[in-house]
Amino acid sequence: MKTTHTAKTIILGITGSIAAYKSADIANNLVKQQYDVHAVMTKAGASFITPLTLQALTKNRVFVDVLQEDDPAEIIHIALPEKADMLLIAPATANIIAKIAAGIADDMLSGMVLAAHDIPKIIAPAMNTRMYENPATQENLQTLIRRGWTVIEPREARLACGYVGKGALAEVGTVIHTVDGVFKGAVKTSDGACEI
C-alpha cells in the first residue's frame, strides 16, 4: 500500500562507491523537501559512510543486512518496497546494476529491488570510466531502461582512481531535480534518462 499522507516515501539505496559520501547530502536534501527517506545500504556502501549518519539525517532506521528482519510482524525487504513511492539508488556501482539486470537478490537492497513493483525507479551510476564504458555495464543499463528505470547519467570528471572521464556521480542537485521531475511526471527521453 502506498503512503496516504502528503510525504512521499523514498527508498534510497547506497552502494560501495567512493561517491557514497554524497548520499548524505542527497538524503538531507530529500528530507528538507519533506520526503520520507529510508536508506538501504549494501555492506560495501556502509564501508564508505556509516549507517548512523544516514539514520541521523533521515530519522529512520537504516538497513544493511537482509537478516535485519527482527520484527516478526513484517518482512522488511517486502514491506518497505510495498509502502514506498519511489526507489532511488545513488550511487549505483557496476555490481548492483548487474545484479538488478540479472534479477539477483542476495542482500537487503537487491531484495527490495525485486519486491518494488509499480513505483518509479531511478538509478545514478558512479564508477571508474572503464567500468562504466564496459559493454556489460552498458547492456545492463539498457536492460534497466527497458524495464522502466530512469538512469541519471554520470558526469565527466577526475575520478578518485585518477582517471579523467565519465563515471562521477551526477551532481546532488541533478539527482534531486530528477526525483522531483519523475514525481511530477517529467517526460523521459528515449534512452530512459530524465530530461533536466
List, in order of start, the domains of the chain with CATH numbers. Answer: 9-183 (3.40.50.1950)
Average pLDDT over residues 158-184: 86
Burial of 158 (0-12, 13-18, 19+ CB in 10 A): exposed
Average pLDDT over residues 84-94: 97
66 has a pLDDT exceeding 80: no
Average pLDDT, the chain: 89
pLDDT at 112: 95
DSSP-derived secondary structure for 40-79: EE-HHHHHHS-HHHHHHHHSS--B--TT----TT--HHHH
- Confidence class for position 4, pLDDT limits 50, 70, 90: very low
- Confidence class for position 75, pLDDT limits 50, 70, 90: confident
Average pLDDT over residues 61-72: 80
159 has a pLDDT exceeding 70: no
DSSP-derived secondary structure for 71-122: -TT--HHHHHHHH-SEEEEEEE-HHHHHHHHHT---SHHHHHHHH--SS-EE
Catalytic machinery residues: 161
- Report the share of the chain in percent with pLDDT over 70: 87
The distance from CA 40 to its chain's CA centroid, rounded to whole angstroms, is 9
10, 88 in Cβ contact below 8 A?
yes
Tell me which residue of 89, 24, 18, 79 sits closest to 52, measured CA to CA. Answer: 24
Tell me which residue of 27, 25, 22 sits closest to 40, measured CA to CA. Answer: 27
How far apart, in whole angstroms, are the C-alpha atoms of residue 165 and residue 155? 8
195 has a pLDDT exceeding 60: no
pLDDT at 188: 54
